[in-house]
A and B are shown apart, each in its own frame.
Chain A
Amino acid sequence: MPAACSGQRLLLLLCLGLSAGSPADPAATTKGALQSQASSLTKVQAGLHESSPEPITTAQAVSWQTQGSPSDHLTLGHTISAPGPELATQEFKEATKDNITFTKYEALLPGVSGTSVEKYITLDSAARIELSCRLDNKNSHLQSLQVIWKKGNETIGHINKTENSWSIKLRILDSSNLGSYSCSLKSKEEIGAAFHLQVPKIEGREKPIVSYGGDTGVMTCESSDYIPIAWSWYMTNGSEQIALNDSLRDKYVINIISANVTQLKILNLTEEDDGEYWCEAAFELGESRASVRLKVLSFMVPLKPFLAIVSEAVILVTIIFLYEIYSKKKEKHAEDEKEFDQVEQLKSEDSNGLENSSARHRRI
């Protein structure tokens, strides 16, 4: 169902082409991740909905625009989910006349007063991107602005200026190209934005996995939206990280559940296997790590509360039964006394009629 829904949106966007940033829904397929389309879509949709009920709210939101001549047409790129306060940005590939496609990310300035706008962009493969800082309509009147683009401390030349936006074009080929790029616009005050380019994050587990000696420990890592090229697992031994691979088949088994999910099975757990394990996903542009903690307990640990609770239940049952026997005895004792008194009374009153009444009331 989500796939059909997004398919509709795809068509809609294709037909309309995009004009001035209409906040819209993340939709569409990735080039390289067609098979995970449905799941990643729902995730992104869900992720979007989870953190912001309306997709784009403040001026901080990224808008996307087409640029170039009317002969350009849009093809949709893949959605990028980014952690942090701002959510999905959408990338669009434009076909320019030179047949080079650039994905554009734009920040509207100024953001909330005092803070600079932060954008987190996740890239899993080599790409050409264009980062642009645009003045919003309120401030478009400002003149004589000095605009600087920096990566870290290096200044970048080749700034393309259009009416109210300044942009740089980048080719991201390997991990050295990733990092933070910032633009700053100075006139009387300084406003700016920063774009953080990262590899995709993968998920391990925050809470430790609890397992028992002799049992099998199972740890999974998942990459939600992007498919890594390779997975690997590491174990922390003191301060070292030891790679776990298939050479130790009888102890460590690495299963590939699916392209996004990897699983490490440790057989015959012992106390030494307790500790932190790292799963690493290799992407084209770098690696990403997540940790999973394993706790190995002995069976004595849950056995103690178990025995405590069992003995408590047994004690309660015994108390209840004893109380019942005791109260029955008391009742019987009290009634015996009552009957004895009454019998004595009757005997003394009517000793003659007793025989007659006993014959009469023989039956019950």
Chain B
Amino acid sequence: PSPSNAGRAPSPPDGGWGWVVVFGAFISIGFAYAFPKGIAIFFKEIQDFFGTSYSEIAWVSSIMLATTYGAGPISSILVNRYGSRPVVIFGGLLCGVGMVSAAFCTSILQLYICVGFITGFGLSLNLQPSVIMIGKYFLKRRPIANGLAMAGSPVMLCTLAPLNQFLFDNFGWRGSFLILGAILLHCCVAGALFRPIGAAKAPVKTQAIEEGKETLKEEVTKDAMEMSNPRNIPMETKMEEEGEKDCCEKINQYLDFSLFKHRGFLIYLIGNVLMFLGFFAPIVFLAPYAKHIGIDEYSAALLLSILAIVDMIARPATGIIANSKWVRPRIQYFFSFSIAFNGACHLLCPLASGYTGLVVYSIFFGLAFGMVCAMLFETLMDLVGAARFTSAVGLVTIAECCTILLGPPIGGTLIDTFGDYKYMFIKCGAVMVLAGTFLFIMNYYNYRMLAKEEKERKAKEEDPKSVRTDNEDRNNWNKEATQGGPELEPLREEQEGLKKEVNGT
């Protein structure tokens, strides 16, 4: 047994229970993304019931989406503190409570609170931990796992839409909200599947065996507790031992603000914030655009279904492609390419005339949308590494929250002022092509800097060729990580991960 394994953070199993975790994440992520869109079926009825205008009702969906993204940092802090599993279970309970109380609402304001804030917050406590869990369980096959888990969104949407219609026809909107609350409790089931990752027990034990039986039992239990402790931050305990604890690091324990010095993180943040300005608007306006150019309602709805089905297939497929040995090292380029491809689709859309043109557009749009979504979190994990991903995802989602909310209304005002849908498509396409090119160029620069830093680091390592024990190795690695220095860990992690694969461990 190789003691060197214990030197790194628990190595991701890349399989086994990991696939069960992917299934749980599939459900969680599916609910988080599909639910706000799915309840739009009830809006007409609720609008009549409360006597409000359509835009007031549409705020329910917007508040829900905003809370799901905006509460990201809170989610990250809670995961950093308590681990993924309790957070997801609590999130599921919160969603259930939110929807059940929504069934008894007597005013639109109460709906905003129950459906918008409470359920939205519950969904955000589902979304982030699911993505984080995948990062903990997978390394070599992480893009596939991400692709599969993100495929939950279109699948859930396709299931929720007819289900909601069925519930609505049979139970009215109040009964439907009650039953949807029960259905959302399955997020708790998904959360129960998120077994805290407690790997690397074996190497520890092999050392303990040589000590003798009594100490053996002690060490085993102590290390087992430490390892299976939901905190996947072994560096944290090391920090305490070393006694370096000023207030910045204390805050960084909960939410790693030092990420803002991380080059890759900043690149990702700026690129994604820009991209989301034009990401969701075309979906929102696809059906109205189809009706505008003279297509009937059912065919317009069919366009969205085509989009969802292509999306469903594209996400795992992208995961598999991104995992291949040609793409994985250059996954950032692939991501920027898919964003630019998405933008190009939108730019070409106004040229599509008639129904077949729109069908072709929907197919390509579904493909591009799936590609981007599948790699959305994978690229972030690739840049900052699994350890800091917890905080990174929270910070990124709250930044994206603003542009996500702004995107469709800006598109809507463009449509209203110019009276033509093509300007909205041109705006979305231009924004995304710009984001794609920005990411491409900046990541090229980033890869070069990383390669340079790696060379420098290797040069330094060659000289003092001391025998490293597990803990020294871990210490150095942790020091580098906590000081927010070189962004080498992810590359190094993956290189060593790949090396391990070669060595057959």
Instruction: Note all chain A residues with C-beta closer than 8 A to B169.
Output: 207, 210
Q: How many angstroms between the C-alpha atoms of A22 and B416 in the bound complex?
A: 31
The answer to whether B211 touches A358, judged by C-beta atoms less than 8 angstroms apart, is yes
Identify the A interface with B (CB < 8 A).
1, 4-5, 46, 49-51, 53, 207, 209-212, 215-216, 218, 220, 255, 257, 263, 295, 297, 301-303, 305-307, 309-310, 313-314, 316-317, 320-321, 324, 335, 339-340, 342-343, 346, 354, 357-358, 361-362, 364
Q: How many angstroms between the C-alpha atoms of A46 and B287 in the bound complex?
A: 14
Instruction: Note all chain B residues with C-beta closer than 8 A to A209.
Output: 45, 172
The answer to whether B223 touches A220, judged by C-beta atoms less than 8 angstroms apart, is no
- Point out the residue from B170, B207, B216, B219 that lies within 8 Å of A343, measured CB to CB: B216
Sorted nearest first, the 7 A-B pairs with minimum C-beta distance are: A210-B172, A302-B175, A1-B419, A309-B182, A49-B294, A313-B185, A320-B192
Q: How many angstroms between the C-alpha atoms of A303 and B179 in the bound complex?
A: 8
Ordered by A's residue number, 19 sampled pairs between the chains whose C-beta atoms are within 8 Å are A1-B416, A1-B419, A46-B291, A49-B294, A210-B169, A215-B174, A297-B172, A302-B175, A303-B178, A305-B182, A310-B96, A310-B182, A313-B189, A316-B192, A320-B189, A342-B209, A343-B209, A343-B212, A354-B212
Identify the interface centre among A1, A51, A207: most chain B CB within 10 Å of its CB: A1
The answer to whether B172 touches A218, judged by C-beta atoms less than 8 angstroms apart, is no
Q: How many angstroms between the C-alpha atoms of A339 and B201 in the bound complex?
A: 13
Q: How many angstroms between the C-alpha atoms of A357 and B48 in the bound complex?
A: 80
Q: Beyond A207-B169, A310-B185: 20 further Cβ-contacts under 8 Å?
A: A53-B294, A215-B174, A216-B49, A302-B179, A306-B178, A307-B182, A309-B185, A310-B182, A313-B182, A313-B185, A316-B186, A317-B189, A317-B192, A320-B192, A335-B201, A339-B209, A343-B213, A357-B210, A358-B211, A358-B215
Contact with A along B163-181 (1 / 0, CB 8 A): 0000011111011101101
Instruction: Note all chain B residues with C-beta closer than 8 A to A309.
Output: 179, 182-183, 185
Instruction: Note all chain B residues with C-beta closer than 8 A to A342.
Output: 209
Q: How many angstroms between the C-alpha atoms of A314 and B183 in the bound complex?
A: 12
In the complex, chain B residues 52-81 whose Cβ is within 8 Å of any chain A Cβ: none
Q: How many angstroms between the C-alpha atoms of A354 and B213 in the bound complex?
A: 11
Instruction: Note all chain A residues with C-beta closer than 8 A to B181.
Output: 306
Instruction: Note all chain A residues with C-beta closer than 8 A to B96.
Output: 310
The answer to whether B174 touches A212, judged by C-beta atoms less than 8 angstroms apart, is yes
| B139 adjacent to chain A (CB < 8 Å) | no
| B426 adjacent to chain A (CB < 8 Å) | no
Instruction: Note all chain B residues with C-beta closer than 8 A to A207.
Output: 169
Instruction: Note all chain A residues with C-beta closer than 8 A to B211.
Output: 357-358, 361-362
| B297 adjacent to chain A (CB < 8 Å) | yes
Given A303-B178, A346-B209, A358-B215, the answer on whether A220 and B172 have CB atoms closer than 8 Å is no
Instruction: Note all chain B residues with C-beta closer than 8 A to A340.
Output: 213
Given A263-B48, A316-B189, A316-B192, the answer on whether A212 and B175 have CB atoms closer than 8 Å is yes
The answer to whether A218 touches B48, judged by C-beta atoms less than 8 angstroms apart, is yes
In the complex, chain B residues 340-384 whose Cβ is within 8 Å of any chain A Cβ: none
Instruction: Note all chain A residues with C-beta closer than 8 A to B48.
Output: 218, 220, 263
| B188 adjacent to chain A (CB < 8 Å) | yes
**Closest residue of chain B to A302, judged by CB?**
B175
In the complex, chain B residues 264-320 whose Cβ is within 8 Å of any chain A Cβ: 291, 294, 296-297
Q: How many angstroms between the C-alpha atoms of A212 and B170 in the bound complex?
A: 12
Instruction: Note all chain A residues with C-beta closer than 8 A to B216.
Output: 339, 343
Number of interface residues of B (CB under 8 A): 46
Q: How many angstroms between the C-alpha atoms of A210 and B49 in the bound complex?
A: 12
Identify the B interface with A (CB < 8 A).
45, 48-49, 51, 89, 96, 168-172, 174-176, 178-179, 181-183, 185-186, 188-189, 192-193, 195, 201, 204-205, 207-213, 215-216, 219, 223, 291, 294, 296-297, 416, 419
**Closest residue of chain A to B184, judged by CB?**
A313
The answer to whether B223 touches A361, judged by C-beta atoms less than 8 angstroms apart, is no
Q: How far is the CB of B208 from chain A (nearest CB, A)?
A: 8
- Point out the residue from A212, A335, A346, A364 that lies within 8 Å of B207, measured CB to CB: A364
Instruction: Note all chain B residues with C-beta closer than 8 A to A220.
Output: 48
Instruction: Note all chain A residues with C-beta closer than 8 A to B168.
Output: 210
Given A218-B49, A303-B178, A361-B207, the answer on whether A320 and B212 have CB atoms closer than 8 Å is no
The answer to whether B212 touches A335, judged by C-beta atoms less than 8 angstroms apart, is no
Q: How far is the CB of A133 from chain B (nearest CB, A)?
A: 31
**Closest residue of chain A to B181, judged by CB?**
A306
Q: How far is the CB of B155 from chain A (nearest CB, A)?
A: 19
Instruction: Note all chain B residues with C-beta closer than 8 A to A215.
Output: 174
Instruction: Note all chain B residues with C-beta closer than 8 A to A307.
Output: 182
The answer to whether B212 touches A358, judged by C-beta atoms less than 8 angstroms apart, is yes
Identify the interface centre among A5, A220, A297: most chain B CB within 10 Å of its CB: A297
Q: How many angstroms between the C-alpha atoms of A210 and B176 in the bound complex?
A: 11
Instruction: Note all chain B residues with C-beta closer than 8 A to A4.
Output: 419
**Closest residue of chain A to B193, judged by CB?**
A320
Q: How far is the CB of A7 from chain B (nearest CB, A)?
A: 12
Identify the interface centre among A220, A255, A302, A361: most chain B CB within 10 Å of its CB: A302
Instruction: Note all chain B residues with C-beta closer than 8 A to A357.
Output: 210-211
Instruction: Note all chain A residues with C-beta closer than 8 A to B209.
Output: 339, 342-343, 346
Q: How many angstroms between the C-alpha atoms of A317 and B204 in the bound complex?
A: 31
Q: How many angstroms between the C-alpha atoms of A313 and B179 in the bound complex?
A: 13
The answer to whether A50 touches B296, judged by C-beta atoms less than 8 angstroms apart, is yes
Q: How many angstroms between the C-alpha atoms of A209 and B212 in the bound complex?
A: 74
Q: How many angstroms between the C-alpha atoms of A218 and B50 in the bound complex?
A: 9
**Closest residue of chain B to A208, judged by CB?**
B169
The answer to whether B182 touches A306, judged by C-beta atoms less than 8 angstroms apart, is yes
The answer to whether A301 touches B179, judged by C-beta atoms less than 8 angstroms apart, is no
Instruction: Note all chain B residues with C-beta closer than 8 A to A216.
Output: 49
**Closest residue of chain A to B175, judged by CB?**
A302
Q: How many angstroms between the C-alpha atoms of A21 and B176 in the bound complex?
A: 53
- Point out the residue from A50, A53, A321 that lies within 8 Å of B297, measured CB to CB: A50
**Closest residue of chain B to A210, judged by CB?**
B172
Q: How many angstroms between the C-alpha atoms of A290 and B89 in the bound complex?
A: 49
The answer to whether B212 touches A210, judged by C-beta atoms less than 8 angstroms apart, is no
- Point out the residue from A46, A335, A358 that lies within 8 Å of B210, measured CB to CB: A358
**Closest residue of chain A to B215, judged by CB?**
A358
The answer to whether A364 touches B204, judged by C-beta atoms less than 8 angstroms apart, is yes
Instruction: Note all chain A residues with C-beta closer than 8 A to B89.
Output: 317
Identify the interface centre among B168, B170, B181: most chain A CB within 10 Å of its CB: B170
Instruction: Note all chain A residues with C-beta closer than 8 A to B51.
Output: 255, 257, 263
Q: How many angstroms between the C-alpha atoms of A321 and B89 in the bound complex?
A: 12
Q: How many angstroms between the C-alpha atoms of A218 and B175 in the bound complex?
A: 16
The answer to whether A301 touches B193, judged by C-beta atoms less than 8 angstroms apart, is no
Instruction: Note all chain B residues with C-beta closer than 8 A to A303.
Output: 178
Given A305-B179, A346-B210, the answer on whether A364 and B219 have CB atoms closer than 8 Å is yes
Q: How many angstroms between the C-alpha atoms of A1 and B415 in the bound complex?
A: 10
Instruction: Note all chain B residues with C-beta closer than 8 A to A358.
Output: 210-212, 215
- Point out the residue from B171, B188, B192, B215 that lies within 8 Å of A302, measured CB to CB: B171
Q: How far is the CB of A332 from chain B (nearest CB, A)?
A: 9
**Closest residue of chain A to B92, judged by CB?**
A313
The answer to whether A313 touches B186, judged by C-beta atoms less than 8 angstroms apart, is yes
Q: How many angstroms between the C-alpha atoms of A53 and B205 in the bound complex?
A: 76
**Closest residue of chain A to B415, judged by CB?**
A1
Q: How many angstroms between the C-alpha atoms of A316 and B27 in the bound complex?
A: 14
**Closest residue of chain A to B222, judged by CB?**
A364
Instruction: Note all chain A residues with C-beta closer than 8 A to B183.
Output: 309
